[in-house]
Protein backbone atom coordinates (compact mmCIF):
# COMPACT_ATOMS: atom_id res chain seq x y z
CA UNK A 1 0.00 0.00 0.00
CA UNK A 2 1.34 3.41 -1.01
CA UNK A 3 0.10 6.77 0.27
CA UNK A 4 0.59 9.93 -1.82
CA UNK A 5 -0.13 12.88 0.51
CA UNK A 6 0.31 16.53 -0.40
CA UNK A 7 3.93 17.66 -0.43
CA UNK A 8 3.72 19.44 2.93
CA UNK A 9 2.60 16.18 4.59
CA UNK A 10 5.10 13.74 3.09
CA UNK A 11 7.56 13.90 5.96
CA UNK A 12 4.86 13.53 8.64
CA UNK A 13 3.28 10.61 6.78
CA UNK A 14 6.63 8.88 6.30
CA UNK A 15 7.38 9.32 10.01
CA UNK A 16 3.98 7.91 10.98
CA UNK A 17 4.61 4.76 8.95
CA UNK A 18 8.28 4.34 9.88
CA UNK A 19 9.03 0.65 10.42
CA UNK A 20 6.00 -0.54 8.41
CA UNK A 21 7.34 -2.71 5.60
CA UNK A 22 3.85 -3.03 4.09
CA UNK A 23 3.40 0.73 3.59
CA UNK A 24 5.31 3.13 1.35
CA UNK A 25 4.96 6.89 1.00
CA UNK A 26 5.11 8.86 -2.22
CA UNK A 27 4.75 12.42 -3.46
CA UNK A 28 2.20 13.68 -5.98
CA UNK A 29 4.61 15.54 -8.27
CA UNK A 30 8.24 16.61 -8.71
CA UNK A 31 10.22 18.91 -10.96
CA UNK A 32 12.61 17.31 -13.44
CA UNK A 33 15.66 19.32 -12.33
CA UNK A 34 17.54 18.19 -9.24
CA UNK A 35 18.35 21.80 -8.29
CA UNK A 36 18.00 25.33 -9.60
CA UNK A 37 15.86 28.45 -9.45
CA UNK A 38 12.39 26.84 -9.56
CA UNK A 39 10.54 28.56 -6.73
CA UNK A 40 7.64 26.49 -5.43
CA UNK A 41 8.75 23.26 -7.12
CA UNK A 42 9.87 20.10 -5.30
CA UNK A 43 12.92 18.25 -6.59
CA UNK A 44 13.47 14.51 -6.42
CA UNK A 45 16.25 14.89 -3.79
CA UNK A 46 13.92 17.05 -1.67
CA UNK A 47 11.16 14.45 -1.94
CA UNK A 48 13.54 11.65 -0.98
CA UNK A 49 14.85 13.63 2.00
CA UNK A 50 11.28 14.01 3.25
CA UNK A 51 10.82 10.23 3.14
CA UNK A 52 9.15 9.66 -0.24
CA UNK A 53 10.11 6.50 -2.09
CA UNK A 54 7.55 6.82 -4.92
CA UNK A 55 6.37 9.61 -7.22
CA UNK A 56 3.22 10.13 -9.29
CA UNK A 57 4.34 11.12 -12.80
CA UNK A 58 1.98 12.50 -15.44
CA UNK A 59 -1.17 12.43 -13.34
CA UNK A 60 -4.18 13.59 -15.36
CA UNK A 61 -4.49 16.82 -13.39
CA UNK A 62 -0.84 17.67 -14.02
CA UNK A 63 -1.43 17.13 -17.72
CA UNK A 64 -4.83 18.73 -18.20
CA UNK A 65 -5.04 21.33 -15.42
CA UNK A 66 -1.41 22.47 -15.28
CA UNK A 67 -0.57 21.91 -18.94
CA UNK A 68 2.17 19.32 -18.49
CA UNK A 69 3.16 17.94 -21.88
CA UNK A 70 4.20 14.41 -22.80
CA UNK A 71 7.77 15.73 -23.03
CA UNK A 72 7.54 17.21 -19.51
CA UNK A 73 6.31 13.87 -18.21
CA UNK A 74 9.22 12.09 -19.89
CA UNK A 75 11.71 14.45 -18.22
CA UNK A 76 10.12 13.89 -14.83
CA UNK A 77 10.15 10.11 -15.32
CA UNK A 78 13.89 10.15 -16.01
CA UNK A 79 14.54 12.41 -13.01
CA UNK A 80 12.66 10.04 -10.71
CA UNK A 81 14.52 7.01 -12.03
CA UNK A 82 17.87 8.81 -11.74
CA UNK A 83 17.02 9.72 -8.14
CA UNK A 84 16.36 6.11 -7.21
CA UNK A 85 12.64 6.51 -6.52
CA UNK A 86 9.77 4.47 -8.00
CA UNK A 87 7.72 6.31 -10.63
CA UNK A 88 4.00 5.66 -10.93
CA UNK A 89 3.48 6.71 -14.55
CA UNK A 90 -0.13 7.74 -15.28
CA UNK A 91 -1.75 7.64 -18.71
CA UNK A 92 -5.34 8.25 -19.75
CA UNK A 93 -7.69 9.81 -22.25
CA UNK A 94 -10.15 12.70 -21.98
CA UNK A 95 -13.88 12.22 -22.60
CA UNK A 96 -13.78 13.69 -26.11
CA UNK A 97 -10.91 11.36 -27.00
CA UNK A 98 -12.81 8.37 -25.71
CA UNK A 99 -15.93 9.34 -27.65
CA UNK A 100 -13.79 9.71 -30.78
CA UNK A 101 -12.48 6.15 -30.25
CA UNK A 102 -8.95 7.43 -29.66
CA UNK A 103 -8.38 5.82 -26.25
CA UNK A 104 -5.74 3.35 -27.38
CA UNK A 105 -3.91 5.88 -29.54
CA UNK A 106 -3.76 8.41 -26.69
CA UNK A 107 -2.58 6.10 -23.92
CA UNK A 108 -0.02 4.36 -26.12
CA UNK A 109 1.37 7.72 -27.29
CA UNK A 110 1.70 8.86 -23.67
CA UNK A 111 3.40 5.60 -22.68
CA UNK A 112 5.81 5.48 -25.63
CA UNK A 113 6.82 9.13 -25.34
CA UNK A 114 7.50 8.81 -21.62
CA UNK A 115 9.50 5.59 -21.99
CA UNK A 116 11.36 6.24 -25.25
CA UNK A 117 15.00 5.22 -24.97
CA UNK A 118 14.79 3.74 -21.48
CA UNK A 119 16.61 0.50 -20.78
CA UNK A 120 14.69 -2.67 -19.95
CA UNK A 121 16.10 -2.40 -16.43
CA UNK A 122 14.68 1.10 -15.97
CA UNK A 123 11.37 0.14 -17.54
CA UNK A 124 10.92 -2.64 -15.00
CA UNK A 125 11.25 -0.10 -12.17
CA UNK A 126 8.07 1.68 -13.33
CA UNK A 127 4.53 1.18 -12.07
CA UNK A 128 2.01 2.08 -14.79
CA UNK A 129 -1.48 3.40 -14.03
CA UNK A 130 -4.33 3.76 -16.51
CA UNK A 131 -6.57 6.56 -15.27
CA UNK A 132 -9.17 7.75 -17.79
CA UNK A 133 -9.52 11.50 -17.28
CA UNK A 134 -13.30 11.35 -17.66
CA UNK A 135 -13.47 9.05 -14.62
CA UNK A 136 -11.32 11.09 -12.22
CA UNK A 137 -13.50 12.41 -9.42
CA UNK A 138 -16.68 12.14 -11.48
CA UNK A 139 -18.17 9.01 -9.96
CA UNK A 140 -17.99 7.39 -13.41
CA UNK A 141 -15.56 4.55 -13.92
CA UNK A 142 -14.56 2.31 -16.77
CA UNK A 143 -16.20 -1.10 -16.56
CA UNK A 144 -13.89 -4.01 -15.73
CA UNK A 145 -14.11 -5.07 -19.39
CA UNK A 146 -13.27 -1.57 -20.65
CA UNK A 147 -10.32 -1.25 -18.28
CA UNK A 148 -9.07 -4.75 -19.08
CA UNK A 149 -9.08 -3.99 -22.81
CA UNK A 150 -6.92 -0.89 -22.33
CA UNK A 151 -4.63 -2.78 -19.96
CA UNK A 152 -4.09 -5.46 -22.59
CA UNK A 153 -3.06 -2.79 -25.10
CA UNK A 154 -0.68 -1.25 -22.58
CA UNK A 155 0.78 -4.64 -21.72
CA UNK A 156 1.39 -5.34 -25.39
CA UNK A 157 3.22 -2.02 -25.77
CA UNK A 158 5.30 -2.73 -22.67
CA UNK A 159 6.31 -6.09 -24.14
CA UNK A 160 7.47 -4.39 -27.33
CA UNK A 161 9.46 -1.86 -25.28
CA UNK A 162 11.17 -4.72 -23.44
CA UNK A 163 9.47 -4.38 -20.06
CA UNK A 164 8.53 -7.63 -18.38
CA UNK A 165 7.71 -6.84 -14.74
CA UNK A 166 5.61 -3.66 -14.84
CA UNK A 167 2.40 -3.76 -12.79
CA UNK A 168 -0.51 -1.98 -14.49
CA UNK A 169 -3.00 -0.32 -12.13
CA UNK A 170 -6.46 1.13 -12.80
CA UNK A 171 -7.45 4.52 -11.41
CA UNK A 172 -10.70 6.41 -11.92
CA UNK A 173 -13.49 6.62 -9.31
CA UNK A 174 -12.41 3.35 -7.70
CA UNK A 175 -14.61 2.68 -4.66
CA UNK A 176 -16.02 -0.07 -2.47
CA UNK A 177 -18.73 -0.79 -5.02
CA UNK A 178 -16.45 -1.58 -7.96
CA UNK A 179 -13.05 -2.60 -6.61
CA UNK A 180 -13.82 -6.34 -6.40
CA UNK A 181 -14.99 -6.47 -10.01
CA UNK A 182 -11.96 -4.54 -11.20
CA UNK A 183 -9.45 -6.69 -9.34
CA UNK A 184 -11.17 -9.85 -10.56
CA UNK A 185 -9.72 -9.12 -14.01
CA UNK A 186 -6.23 -10.63 -14.42
CA UNK A 187 -5.17 -7.67 -16.56
CA UNK A 188 -5.61 -5.30 -13.61
CA UNK A 189 -2.73 -5.62 -11.13
CA UNK A 190 -3.92 -3.08 -8.59
CA UNK A 191 -5.74 0.23 -8.22
CA UNK A 192 -4.91 3.91 -7.84
CA UNK A 193 -7.55 5.33 -5.52
CA UNK A 194 -8.46 9.02 -5.26
CA UNK A 195 -11.64 10.33 -3.64
CA UNK A 196 -12.49 7.08 -1.84
CA UNK A 197 -9.26 7.41 0.16
CA UNK A 198 -10.30 10.72 1.75
CA UNK A 199 -12.82 9.19 4.19
CA UNK A 200 -11.05 6.86 6.65
CA UNK A 201 -14.02 4.49 7.03
CA UNK A 202 -14.58 4.23 3.28
CA UNK A 203 -10.85 3.75 2.73
CA UNK A 204 -10.74 0.95 5.31
CA UNK A 205 -13.60 -0.80 3.51
CA UNK A 206 -11.83 -0.44 0.15
CA UNK A 207 -8.64 -1.94 1.61
CA UNK A 208 -10.57 -4.79 3.20
CA UNK A 209 -12.32 -5.61 -0.08
CA UNK A 210 -9.09 -5.36 -2.06
CA UNK A 211 -7.34 -7.71 0.35
CA UNK A 212 -10.12 -10.26 -0.03
CA UNK A 213 -10.14 -9.91 -3.82
CA UNK A 214 -6.46 -10.75 -4.20
CA UNK A 215 -6.15 -13.35 -1.43
Question: Which of 31, 131, 151, 187 is the catalytic position?
Answer: 131
Concerning whether 59 is annotated as a catalytic residue, the answer is yes
Rounded-to-integer distance, Cα 192 and Cα 23, Å: 14
For 115, list phi and psi in degrees, rounded to 5. Answer: -100, 0
Q: How many residues does the chain have?
A: 215
**CA nearest 72: which of 29, 134, 136?**
29
211 exposure class (CB count in 10 Å sphere: 0-12, 13-18, 19+): exposed
- The catalytic position among 59, 68, 93, 187 is 59
Q: How far apart are CA 131 and CA 133, in angstroms?
A: 6
H-type helices in the chain, by residue range?
A: 10-16, 44-50, 60-64, 70-82, 95-99, 103-115, 120-123, 144-161, 179-183, 200-214
Is position 131 annotated as part of the catalytic site? yes
| C-alpha span between 203 and 207 (Å, rounded) | 6
Beta strands at 86-91 and 54-57: parallel, antiparallel or unpaired: parallel
Query: Annotated catalytic sites, by residue?
Result: 59, 131
Amino acid sequence: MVFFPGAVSVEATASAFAGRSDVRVGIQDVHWEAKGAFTGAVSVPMAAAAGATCVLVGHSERRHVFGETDADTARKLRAVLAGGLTPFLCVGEKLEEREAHQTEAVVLRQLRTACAGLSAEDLDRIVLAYEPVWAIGTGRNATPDDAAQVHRSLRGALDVLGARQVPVLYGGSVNAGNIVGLLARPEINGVLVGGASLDPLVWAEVIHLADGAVS
